Structure 1
Amino acid sequence: MLARSKLEEQGLGTKGGTPPLAETGSPLPPGSHRDEDVTADAWRAHRKHVFVLSEAGKPIYSRYGSEEALSSTMGVMMALVSFVQSGDNTIRSVYSDQHMVVFMQQGPLVLVSVSSSGQSEQQLRQELRYVYNQIVSMLTQASIERIFQHKKNYDLRRLLAGSEKILDALLDLLDREPSFMLSAVRCVPLPCSLRDSLGQTLQKAITPNLVFSILIAHQQLVTIVQEKTVIEDARLEPSDLHLLLNLVGASSAFQAGEIWTPICLPCFNPDCYFYAYISYLDPPDCTVCLLLLSTDKEAFYAVAECKRKIEEAMLAQNALAAIAKAHSYSVSQVGVSDLRHFMYKPFDVPDNHRQLTQFTRDGVPITISGAEAGRLLDLYRDLHSRIHSSSRPLKLIYHVAERETLLAWVTSKFELYTCFSPLVTKASAINAITKLLRWIKKEEDRLFIRYPPKYSTTPNPSRSARKAAADQHDTTDNGFLSLL
């Protein structure tokens, strides 16, 4: 209760509601994987386990089973890390016939992935970094380091109580969403005129110290507007937006009303908070969500007024109805025979170094079951690993399997993964890809944010948003250290 009340003092709460982490901390339903017997075969049969522990061997998080039941297992993991470190070395991975164990140490935290999924070490390490960054997004890196400098055997679960649901949701997304593998963001397919109009609406509804205005729908990006000085020295990375999307999607508390909560964007600045205003614009459906990020923790009412203006403008344009109708397109719309599925990531987006990296993919056909969709993603992961191999990178892979033919291609302009029927020839696949690229070129203004809009709210244009956030960190208690 002390931790929760302190969070509320720091602005982690709702206007007339409950703090988002309070909702996630509600009792887990019967049969939850937290109650799994860690000695049972069913627990061992999971494709991927993820563990987080401190340097002192204190359990912090486990994807399956309770941390208490796994304390001895995590102790063995820390013993391996310490043993290798005693020889002036670092343990990175352990291979067996069926499993790969990947270790990653980030400051005082140790993260471990035990996987039989067939993913590469690089891919598993990237997933562990996402888990670490999600923890940092709630506490900040500086806070975590200070906590363990003060008390090496501190139990970090005290501060993360209730956040297990957020980490669980992240790992579920990592298992089924290719955007993490591609390090890119997927946009809702929208007519260019509508997306531009929505961008202009966000541009007009601004207040001092507002840094990012983000509109999302169906857990995809609709449009994003950035403060001009942000772009001078930094940008919002796809991984930071992935963490924001996961935070919003993981808890139903955000559907209750207006949320004002501190949030850290680890890739932008791991040591400070932004203050995020989060509100759904279409209750009770709750598919279109507005995120406004400010560096001023006292700006709730000013930012809420921006939301009111945005909401009024969108209602006048009937934009919510148009967004609601915008769903993933079908591969049949491409008009390429034998093509079953594809993912496309462009590198030649105008002004690319100043905006989010994006990708597009068709919707998974209704004829493909959940298990088949997972199998297809596993195949793509294998291609991605081979294409981006550190020892032997490739440009083109043509892979013939029993149920499908796959072709992966990376050029200076794009990265492409395609799935065809099993009997397609290489020549036919190349011809099909030529047609696909023409279709994407014709539709690119609908599939991507080509020219991201900007605004200026900073009183002193020479002062960057990164510096403003750092200054804010210097003068603001993050709400956690005082608990020690």
Structure 2
Amino acid sequence: MKRRGAPALPAPAAAATPANGAAASPPARAPAASRSPTPLHPSAPAPRTGRRARSTLTRYGDEHKLAGFSATLQAIVSFVENTADHIKFVRAGKHQIVFLVKGPIYLVCISCTEESFEGLRGQLELMYGQPCVSIPILISLSEITNLQMLLILTKSVNRNPATFLHAYTCLPLAQATRQAASAALQDIADSGVLFGLLMCDHKVISLVGAQKATLHPDDILLLANFILSSESFRTSESFSPICLPRYSPMAYLYAYVHFFDENTYLTLLTPRSDAFFDLKDSRARIQDVILKSNVLLEVQRSLHENVLRVEDVPIDLSSQSTSAPAQSSQGLNSQPLSSDEVIGGPAGLWHFIYRSVYLDQYVSSEFPLPIRNPKQQKRLYKAYQKVYASMHDKATGPHRTQFRKDEDYVMFSWITQDFELYAAFSPLADKTQAIKVCNRVCQWIMDLQDRVFIHGESTIAW
């Protein structure tokens, strides 16, 4: 694969060339009808939490004490609907009240964190999509215990950048290991499977899909949340009906799930309700291949060793990579970077998120000491959400670069047609030095792209 150097700010970046591994000849394609998702039956009970069942659930506070307030919110929604309109949000002082109405279900978010309307509404969309993933939960949406479990899931969503980036992250692996995992998943081709995912927690190891079938990153996030939230999936192989809202909100598939170890699991999605034993046989063949090729061993090693740390960003890229062109160490300022410059701690880089626009994938660094506390991490993600919304604001943007400084962080954002970079620095960081470090980070990620991204494997025809 031909490598290119990271562009210097403000010049646009060149697109990274995907690595095209040798693909096996596609087996005979399953009949089209067998690969179509099953539509939801029109007589299935509709979810009720608003008009009829009137059950109220809240993440904070007591539902019974908030009954009067909930009735007021419902009255506001009904009043606006009676005028043939739809309510989106209400501002009350520093508070923003965001509404999402999905039939009889009212989702309301009240926030004073200065998050954007688009960001808060996106969180409500994901929260609505989470129960839709599980057909049994969808059918019995009035069951309080099921929905309380879903409210607990929102805590993990609040600390996952995939919620606002609409991208998924991959487990860093050597290219040979990832190709071995992908080759193992080819064994599902004759089973009529629509998608096959090998994952480690929320990170994708390998992803294959039928021709012209694509899996949205939001669906991957919701599917991983659904699987990781249930202990039953870990103790035995499971076969469950699911609905992927982004793929087809009015139809459902069947998910075969099997955990190989505590973190690594295989998910096979099929439209066939009678495919359990076929998928069980496919899983056995896949397991045999990945064990012989030491994929699981490399996955466990990657969990502890292949992490990106801001301290590891190369100081002089020209000496670290022979494939990097001369301009790789230049930014808006053409001055060379000093070898004794510190990348962490005071006046240094604390964290970054790099999103590949072409691949819909992202990679982020580990949290350093200044932000190891969960509360501090949540505060940083809120800052990222605000910067992301500002960069993509349709009214004033989109913007290409942005530099923000407050008492908590220096936030630097950079968007090109190929990637997006969001970086958090110490509040004492200098703008000129921040730009230099961002150029270094971009070149570093491009040099590592074979390990941190999946190239050309997300769609395999059969």
> Does TM-score exceed 0.5, indicating one fold?
yes
Give the conservation status (yes or no) of the 8 Å contact 1:101–1:114.
yes
- Structure 2 equivalent of residue 93 of structure 1: 89
Residues 431-460 of structure 1, C-alpha deviation per residue, up to 9 Å, x if partnerless?
211111111110011111011155455xxx
Unaligned runs of 5+ in 1: 1-51, 145-155, 350-356, 458-484
- Structure 2 equivalent of residue 400 of structure 1: 405
- Structure 1 equivalent of residue 292 of structure 2: 316
Counterpart code for 1:363: E
Give the conservation status (yes or no) of the 8 Å contact 2:196–2:268.
yes
Give the conservation status (yes or no) of the 8 Å contact 1:343–1:359.
yes
| SS of equivalent residue, structure 1 residue 243 | helix
| SS of equivalent residue, structure 2 residue 190 | coil
Counterpart code for 1:311: Q
- Find 2:362's aligned residue among 335, 346, 359: 359
| TM-score normalised by the chain length of structure 2 | 0.77
- Structure 2 equivalent of residue 374 of structure 1: 378
- Structure 2 equivalent of residue 342 of structure 1: 352
Give the conservation status (yes or no) of the 8 Å contact 1:274–1:294.
yes
CA RMSD of aligned residues (A): 2.2
Is 1:446 paired with 2:429? no
- Find 2:435's aligned residue among 424, 430, 433: 430
Residues 107-165 of structure 1, C-alpha deviation per residue, up to 9 Å, x if partnerless?
23221111223211111111111111122222499x87xxxxxxxxxxx544x454225
Counterpart code for 1:435: R
Q: What is the CA–CA distance in structure 2 between the aligned matches of 1:252 and 1:311, rounded to whole Å?
A: 21
1:269–1:315: structure 2 CA closer, same or farther, 3 Å change rule?
A: same
1:456–1:346: structure 2 CA closer, same or farther, 3 Å change rule?
A: closer
Query: Cα distance, 1:395 vs. partner?
Result: 2.0
Query: Cα distance, 1:90 vs. partner?
Result: 2.1
Residues 351-404 of structure 1, C-alpha deviation per residue, up to 9 Å, x if partnerless?
xxxxxx110101112442112211211211121121122211122111122343
| SS of equivalent residue, structure 2 residue 424 | strand
Which one has a larger percent helix, Structure 1 or Structure 2? 1
Give the conservation status (yes or no) of the 8 Å contact 1:279–1:291.
yes
- Find 1:391's aligned residue among 367, 380, 395: 395
- Find 1:420's aligned residue among 419, 425, 429: 425
Q: What is the CA–CA distance in structure 1 between the aligned matches of 2:182 and 2:308, rounded to whole Å?
A: 22
Residues 290-310 of structure 1, C-alpha deviation per residue, up to 9 Å, x if partnerless?
101111110101001111111
Is 1:185 paired with 2:164? no
- Structure 1 equivalent of residue 302 of structure 2: 326
Query: Cα distance, 1:98 vs. partner?
Result: 3.4
1:348–1:219: structure 2 CA closer, same or farther, 3 Å change rule?
A: closer
| SS of equivalent residue, structure 1 residue 378 | helix
Q: What is the CA–CA distance in structure 2 between the aligned matches of 1:131 and 1:246, rounded to whole Å?
A: 11
- Structure 2 equivalent of residue 258 of structure 1: 237
Give the conservation status (yes or no) of the 8 Å contact 1:59–1:71.
no
Residues 270-309 of structure 1, C-alpha deviation per residue, up to 9 Å, x if partnerless?
1111110111001xxx100110111111010100111111
Q: What is the CA–CA distance in structure 1 between the aligned matches of 2:412 and 2:237, rounded to whole Å?
A: 46
Q: What is the CA–CA distance in structure 2 between the aligned matches of 1:82 and 1:422, rounded to whole Å?
A: 46
The percentage of aligned residue pairs carrying the same residue is: 28
Q: What is the CA–CA distance in structure 2 between the aligned matches of 1:90 and 1:348, rounded to whole Å?
A: 34
Give the conservation status (yes or no) of the 8 Å contact 1:278–1:292.
yes
Q: What is the CA–CA distance in structure 2 between the aligned matches of 1:272 and 1:173, rounded to whole Å?
A: 27
Counterpart code for 2:205: V
| SS of equivalent residue, structure 1 residue 292 | strand
| SS of equivalent residue, structure 1 residue 114 | strand
Q: How many residues align?
A: 379
Give the conservation status (yes or no) of the 8 Å contact 2:56–2:67.
no
Query: Cα distance, 1:170 vs. partner?
Result: 3.0
Q: What is the CA–CA distance in structure 1 between the aligned matches of 2:127 and 2:265, rounded to whole Å?
A: 23
Counterpart code for 1:339: L
Query: Cα distance, 1:252 vs. partner?
Result: 1.3
Q: What is the CA–CA distance in structure 1 between the aligned matches of 2:276 and 2:144, rounded to whole Å?
A: 25
Unaligned runs of 5+ in 2: 1-47, 316-342
- Structure 1 equivalent of residue 39 of structure 2: none
- Find 2:151's aligned residue among 162, 168, 172: 168
Counterpart code for 1:186: T
Query: Cα distance, 1:67 vs. partner?
Result: 4.6
Q: What is the CA–CA distance in structure 2 between the aligned matches of 1:250 and 1:453, rounded to whole Å?
A: 25
| TM-score normalised by the chain length of structure 1 | 0.74
Query: Cα distance, 1:169 vs. partner?
Result: 3.7
Q: What is the CA–CA distance in structure 2 between the aligned matches of 1:180 and 1:69, rounded to whole Å?
A: 30
| SS of equivalent residue, structure 1 residue 436 | helix
- Structure 2 equivalent of residue 214 of structure 1: 197
